[in-house]
Each structure stands twice: as structure tokens, then as C-alpha cells.
């Protein structure tokens, strides 16, 4: 006998080919079919089948079968309970079974209608550690060159290899399920974090903003968010994205301010290796990173006229080239831009392209400054205090007198300035209570005196909702803690207000 045809050589050759099949596919069923093909083509084991355990039902389910006819089969319909037939017996006893002649074995169940009754049958367990997770079975050739025991040992070696791949496949499937579950959880968390409820406000101007966000989130229309710095433009952009059909795709942000044209082009469009000095490798730009999702371009009014032309092209045609490449790439990205500039004036002066302006300004959303919706300040202050409390790991409370003091200031820095002020006050609030004293220590009182009281609030001290102590404090604050001036505002004499200050134990501030 030629050495290449001897049983040991054939088995080694078959094991090598089986290992190659197992290493070259992540599709478990395709891999199992490939193994059975190798067993029949090279290993002399025909009509192979593989069943794997269903952990939920405890049954063995047919996952792969190989026969000469290669006819289509509905694999899931073939199942074996523990102890049922030869296959079920292996699940129960965890031992290899050798049947010299199928016709003589009453326990054999011919559910596949595949096996020849006059031939032997070998089935061996597929293990994961000590646990049986499946069965691999086949019929040896009519005249095997080795004994059935040797054929069984060879099938057990194949079974060990298959078991390792099944374990890896199941582990990867479990990891995928975990990742999908974690993705869905994070997506839900992000939707809550950036949902409509996270944008605070009940004033008419804010209700209009909410209506616009809900309307535009359903479509892919380009949005231009207008408003002063610190009004929450990025929050609106995220709310649009995470309440749209693109919510499961990326939300990518880029601040266009203070970037040169070269850096901006590389950031947005990406670059190829060697495109410029320092480009050691190719890099995906923000447009490619956001493919299928949303790209938020903050401070869009700061880009140069030269770069405006390049941006206009991708907005119009949906295609671009990386820096250093001539290959045109197509992307599907929704663009949301934001600016605090008066783009109409910039268009008139030639600083901003008119065609780009109209391309961006399809759906404008105006974020009002805080001074235009001071009625929302109490709710905003308490929500921001909750955010600060979470960062500091302790409860924080904002008192009513602190809120009233905050409403006397015009907040040129908008909500961002409110948060900074509250964080400074929280540092001073040892007991976790942000009151007037904590705000004064944070420097808010000086800001009020420098900037003046908000228009319409000068008569706060005459508010019938305030008690007498609160009216006196409000008048003193408005008068810069000059008692004579506060007395005039209240229609009192200096002696009367001095008595009230003493009576109510009001701590007089020195300005």
C-alpha cells in the first residue's frame, strides 16, 4: 500500500483539512457542513450529521447533515430528547456508540431516512468541558481499512475540534447578544438624556422650539440652530438626532471655530497616508464617521469663504474626496449646523456665501436667550443643581430666596453661566443648601450690581406674593443695601426700615 493511502496518513490529512475548515469561517452551520464534507470526501465517513444542544428545551437539534443527494432539509424539525434513540442515548450517557449494523439495532431511529441499514453507524459526543453539547455521527465506508473502534477514535478527535469551535461560536454569539443589549440600553439612556424632557422650559418661546424639534426630527432636512452662546444649541441638535430615524447611527460633533482651512478639511473629509507632513496613516473624516447618522457643525459662521465652497459641494451632492485622494466617496449624512453670528449681515458684507446660507438655513430654529425666558429660571436652576449634585456625589437644594436673587440678573452667558454660578455656590454650600449667602459668596451679587437689575423686576419688592421680610430684602437688594433708598422704595422712613431690619434679623450687606 502506498504510504499516502495508508489509514494513518489519510486520517492526518483529513484532520488537517478539518482544522482548516474550522479556522476559516465564523458561520457555524457553514463550518459544520464543511467538516462533514471533508469527512466524506477524505475520511471515509459518509452521511455525517451534527446535532447541538438547545439549552432552553434540553433537546438535540439537527444543525448540519451531508449526504450524496445534498437535498434541502429543514434541520430544526429533526430533534432528539435525552435517551431517545442512539443520538439521545449519547446525550444521556456521554459515551461513544458503535453500531456494527444499523438493521440489528432496535434503538436506532431513522428520522432522516438517510442511513443504509446494512452498514455500521458511529456517533460520539461533542463536549464543552465535561458537558455534552452535541453529537457528531456518520457511517464508515463499506469496507473500512481499519476497525470500527479505530474509526470511532478518529471521529472522537474530530469531535474535540468541533467542540472547540462550537464553544467559541456560542461565546461570540453571547457576546454579540450582550453588546446588542448594552447598545440598546445605552441608546435608551442617551434618548432620555437628550430627549425633549431634558430641554427645560414652559414659556411660549420654548414651546415653539419644542414643536420645531418634534417636527424636524421626522425628516432629514438640514437644520440651522441660531442663538447666543450658552443657550443649548448642541442640546437641541442631539434631541433632533436621538428622536429621529437615525438615532441608532452616530452623532458626530465638530466645532468649526479656530480651525485653519487645512485642519478643517482634514477633520471633515479625512486624509490619506502621506497627504501632508505628519499624515502617518489614513484617517476617516467626520463626514465618514457620521455616515448614516448626523453631523453637528457648531460655530458654522466662523469658516472661511474658501472652505465654504467645499462644504457647499458636499451638502449639494453628498460626495467628497479625502485630502490626498482623487477617489470620490459618497455619504449619507444629515447636517445640523449652529451659529451665534448674524449670518444675514455676513452675507450682506460678503463674509458668508449666500448659496451656502440658503443651503443651511432650510429649517432655522432660534434658541432664545435666558433673559427672554426668565420664567424658566427656577426650573433650570434646580435641574442644574441636580446635575451638579450628581457630580459632587451629594444632595443639593436651591432655596427660593436664592432663585429670586438669580432672577435679578440678566445672565449674558445664558444657561452655561447659570451652571457655573451654581457650581461656585455649591462649593460654598457646606450643608448642601444653595441660598442667598452662598450665591453672594459666589460673586453673583457683584454681577447684579455691575449689570443692573433685569427690566421688569425692579418692583419685585412690591410683589404681593412676598411676605414683609422678603419685600424688605428685595428692596434692599435693589437699592444696593442703602437703607435710606430702600425705605423710599417701600414708602417707609429710615427709622422704620432700620427697625424692620432689626426685627427680622436681616443681615445687612456692605457694598
Report domain extents, the chain.
3-173, 194-368, 371-503
Residues 324 and 271: beta-carbon distance below 8 Å:
yes
The pLDDT value given to residue 351? 93
pLDDT, tens only, 281-293: 778 889 999 999 9
Three-state secondary structure call for residue 47? strand
pLDDT, tens only, 43-67: 788 888 999 998 888 889 888 888 7
Q: Cα torsion for 184, 188, 193, 196, to the nearest 10°?
A: 140
Sheet containing strand 60-65, edge to edge, reads: 79-80, 60-65, 45-53, 131-140, 121-128, 97-99
Q: Is 194-368 a CATH 3.10.450.50 domain?
A: no
Question: With bands split at pLDDT 50, 70 and 90, how would you rate the model's confidence at 457?
Answer: very low
Which of the listed ranges 21-25, 124-128, 326-330, 483-487 does the model predict with the highest average pLDDT? 124-128
Query: Beta partners for 60?
Result: 53, 80
Q: Cα torsion for 16, 17, 23, 26, to the nearest 10°?
A: -150
Share of the chain above pLDDT 70, in %: 87
Question: With bands split at pLDDT 50, 70 and 90, how would you rate the model's confidence at 487?
Answer: confident
Query: What is the spatial distance between Cα 113 and Cα 105, in angstroms, rounded to a whole number?
Result: 15
Length of the chain as a residue count? 511
The pLDDT value given to residue 488? 77
Does the predicted TM-score (pTM) go above 0.75? no
Report whether pLDDT(504) > 80. yes
Averaged pLDDT for residues 461-466: 58
371-503, CATH topology level: Helicase, Ruva Protein; domain 3 (1.10.8)
The pLDDT value given to residue 389? 94
Domains 194-368 and 371-503 alike in fold? no
Question: With bands split at pLDDT 50, 70 and 90, how would you rate the model's confidence at 468?
Answer: confident
> Which CATH code for domain 3-173?
3.30.450.40
The pLDDT value given to residue 458? 42
pLDDT, tens only, 294-346: 999 999 999 998 899 999 999 998 888 888 788 888 999 999 999 999 999 99
Query: What is the spatial distance between Cα 246 and Cα 249, in angstroms, rounded to a whole number?
Result: 5
Query: What is the spatial distance between Cα 227 and Cα 237, in angstroms, rounded to a whole number?
Result: 13
Question: With bands split at pLDDT 50, 70 and 90, how would you rate the model's confidence at 451?
Answer: low
pLDDT, tens only, 126-138: 998 888 989 999 9
Amino acid at each position: 500500500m502506498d504510504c499516502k493511502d495508508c489509514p494513518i496518513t489519510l486520517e492526518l490529512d483529513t484532520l488537517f483539512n478539518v482544522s482548516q475548515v474550522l479556522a476559516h469561517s465564523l458561520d457555524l452551520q457553514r463550518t459544520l457542513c464543511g467538516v462533514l464534507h471533508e469527512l466524506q470526501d477524505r475520511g471515509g465517513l459518509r452521511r455525517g450529521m451534527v446535532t447541538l444542544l438547545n439549552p432552553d428545551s434540553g433537546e438535540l437539534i439537527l444543525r448540519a447533515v451531508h449526504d450524496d443527494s445534498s437535498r434541502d432539509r429543514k434541520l430544526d424539525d429533526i430533534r432528539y430528547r435525552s435517551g431517545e434513540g442512539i443520538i439521545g442515548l449519547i446525550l444521556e450517557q456521554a459515551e461513544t456508540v458503535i453500531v456494527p449494523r444499523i438493521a440489528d439495532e432496535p434503538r436506532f431511529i431513522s428520522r432522516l431516512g438517510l442511513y443504509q441499514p446494512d452498514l455500521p453507524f458511529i456517533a460520539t459526543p461533542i463536549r464543552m468541558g465535561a458537558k455534552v453539547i452535541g453529537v457528531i455521527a456518520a457511517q464508515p465506508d463499506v469496507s473500512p481499512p481499519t476497525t470500527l473502534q479505530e474509526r470511532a477514535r478518529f471521529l472522537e478527535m474530530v469531535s474535540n475540534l468541533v467542540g472547540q469551535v462550537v464553544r467559541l461560536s456560542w461565546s461570540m454569539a453571547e457576546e454579540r447578544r450582550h453588546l446588542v443589549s448594552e447598545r440598546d440600553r445605552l441608546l435608551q439612556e442617551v434618548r432620555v438624556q437628550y430627549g425633549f424632557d431634558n430641554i427645560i422650559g414652559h414659556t411660549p418661546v420654548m414651546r415653539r422650539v419644542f414643536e420645531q424639534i418634534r417636527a424636524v426630527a421626522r425628516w432629514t432636512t438640514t437644520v440651522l440652530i441660531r442663538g447666543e452662546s450658552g443657550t443649548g444649541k448642541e442640546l437641541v441638535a442631539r434631541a433632533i438626532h436621538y428622536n429621529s430615524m437615525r438615532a441608532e447611527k452616530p452623532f458626530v460633533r465638530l466645532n468649526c471655530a479656530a480651525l485653519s482651512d487645512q485642519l478643517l478639511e482634514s477633520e471633515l473629509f479625512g486624509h490619506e497616508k502621506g497627504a501632508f507632513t505628519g499624515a502617518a496613516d489614513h484617517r476617516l473624516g467626520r463626514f465618514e464617521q457620521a455616515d448614516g447618522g448626523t453631523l453637528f457643525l457648531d460655530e458654522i459662521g466662523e469658516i472661511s469663504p474658501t472652505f465654504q465652497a467645499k462644504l457647499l459641494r458636499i451638502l449639494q451632492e453628498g460626495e467628497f474626496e479625502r485630502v490626498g485622494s482623487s477617489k470620490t466617496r459618497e455619504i449619507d449624512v444629515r447636517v445640523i449646523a449652529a451659529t451665534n453670528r448674524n449670518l444675514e449681515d455676513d452675507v450682506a458684507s460678503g463674509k458668508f456665501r449666500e448659496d451656502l446660507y440658503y443651503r443651511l438655513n432650510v429649517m432655522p430654529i432660534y434658541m432664545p436667550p435666558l433673559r427672554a425666558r426668565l420664567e424658566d429660571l427656577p426650573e433650570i436652576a434646580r435641574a442644574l443643581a441636580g446635575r451638579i449634585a450628581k457630580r459632587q456625589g451629594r444632595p443639593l437644594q436651591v432655596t427660593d430666596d436664592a432663585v429670586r436673587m438669580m432672577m435679578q440678573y440678566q445672565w449674558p452667558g445664558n444657561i452655561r453661566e447659570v451652571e457655573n454660578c451654581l457650581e461656585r455656590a455649591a462649593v460654598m454650600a457646606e450643608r448642601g443648601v444653595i441660598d442667598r449667602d452662598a450665591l453672594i459668596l459666589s460673586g453673583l451679587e457683584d454681577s447684579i450690581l455691575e449689570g443692573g437689575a433685569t427690566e421688569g423686576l425692579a418692583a419685585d419688592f412690591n410683589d404681593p406674593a412676598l411676605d414683609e421680610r422678603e419685600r424688605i430684602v428685595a428692596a434692599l437688594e435693589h437699592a444696593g443695601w442703602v437703607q435710606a433708598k430702600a425705605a423710599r422704595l417701600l414708602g417707609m422712613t429710615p427709622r422704620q426700615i432700620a427697625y424692620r431690619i432689626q426685627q427680622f434679623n436681616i443681615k445687612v450687606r456692605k457694598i
